[in-house]
Amino acid sequence: MKTEKPLPLIVFFFGGGFEKGDSSRDLHSPDYFMMRDVVVATVSYRVGPLGFLSLENPAAGVPGNAGLKDQLLAMKWITQNAASFNADPANVTAFGESAGAASVHYLMLNPNAAGLFHKAIMQSGNALCSWSLCPIPNLGRRLAENLGMKHVQQASDTKVLEFLQSVPGDKLVTPYLLSQAENLDDCVFQFGPVVEPYSSEGCVLLKPPIELVETAWGNSIPVLMSGTSFEGLLMYARVQLAPYLLTSLKGQPQHMLPLELKRSLPQALALTLGKRLRLLHFGDRPMDLQKDSVVAYCEYASYKVFWHPIMRTIKARLRASAAPTYLYRFDFDSSTFNHQRRKYCGDQLRGVAHIDDHSYIWYGDFSWKLDKHTAEFQTIERMIDILTTFAATSNPNCGSVQSSLPKNSHWPPLSKKFIVCLNISEEMKIIDLPEINKLKVWDSVYKAQA
């Protein structure tokens, strides 16, 4: 299809913790986007050990991050060939959710991606989230041993690679390798991005992301970031299956802290700061599996796993960047159409869980045809209007936003003085970020590190 002018191009990266997910129409059918004049491309990339195996010896030739390198290659190919599918190579938006958002952030940190896209959308994730960087060394050896390799600790990396290459793919991705201690150290997923052990052709990450965020090329482009109002509900089922994630916090409050802090602080200070966070999120609740305590754990996870990394990224951009950063908070709590919450919690709880906005952006095998007069369909129209307007203009102040706000007001970019967001519920309003006061306590914990 040809138009008078080429169309804005949105390149989407799926989530799934770098372990699962795909770009198929089962999960990411762009039906709703077709209400607008945009081109949408969804990217596939390798995940799990197939995408993120890392071996330290250069002789093996597997430094890691193959999945991130897939993404970079895809961005290059798509932009080089954009004109062939009526897309504008000078108006490209990189868009990701969860691990896909972290992937977009990694592209923004990678100088080899500079100029491939001109704005970014990061939903519920970035490269500062603890789950977006694998902290476990030699995980490939552990995988080989689990799959039956003998004398793995004495074997060379080349031999480990040869063994893993002999294992059928379905068996390669099956083992669960993490210990309880590692789960308490924020290791939610197994294989994922790593700081590569040596420099090589195509290297994408030689330093931790925190060391790159303030000097990254991506600070020069407009960004739309988001989170949901109860991100941590995704942990509800996990705590039921692994109660120690909650109960251990009573006697070991240092595990309230992110791993990077635990590793850098004296033990006594880590305990003190952990108690500060425990009081913030649990108060005097018992550290058991009573519903109130589990919900409190989920609220704590919202901050540790998502909202505080989002805020750290925002503040780094505000220190370094003149390009605008916009923030929305997805707070639309449908009883039937928030598919992620229903997957994590069934119908036991309400709240807007991690990636619940997915249902209002993508059609899939989880969707059904909605009456156009429902609040759910109105939310779909609003979300698509926001995202496509930002993709086209670098500014999300679309017609849906303007019609929802008081006359002569608008959705402002963030500033050092004002952290405001567009709160998307049954109504849309510009509000002070509700999480900000607890985020200040998290900031105080990080300041103790200095």
Give me the active site residues, please.
Answer: 98, 231, 354
Tokens 């020069």: give the residue. Answer: 220
DSSP string, 44-103: ----HHHHH---S-GGG---S-HHHHHHHHHHHHHHHTGGGGTEEEEEEEEEEETHHHHH
Q: b vs e for 344-371, b when ≥16 Cβ sit within 10 Å of the residue's Cβ?
A: bbeeebebbbbbbbbbbbbbeeebeeee
Q: How far apart are CA 47 and CA 423, in angstroms?
A: 33
To the nearest 10 degrees (0 to 180), the angle between helices 99-109 and 66-80 is 70
Using an 8 Å Cβ cutoff, are 93 and 12 in contact? no
DSSP assignment string, 409-436: ---PPP-SS--EEEEESSSEEEEE-TTH
CB atoms within 10 A of CB 171: 10
The C-alpha atoms of residue 379 and residue 381 are separated, in whole angstroms, by 5
Whether 303 and 256 have beta carbons less than 8 Å apart is answered as no
Please name the residues in contact with 374: beta carbons below 8 A apart, sequence gap of 6 or more.
none
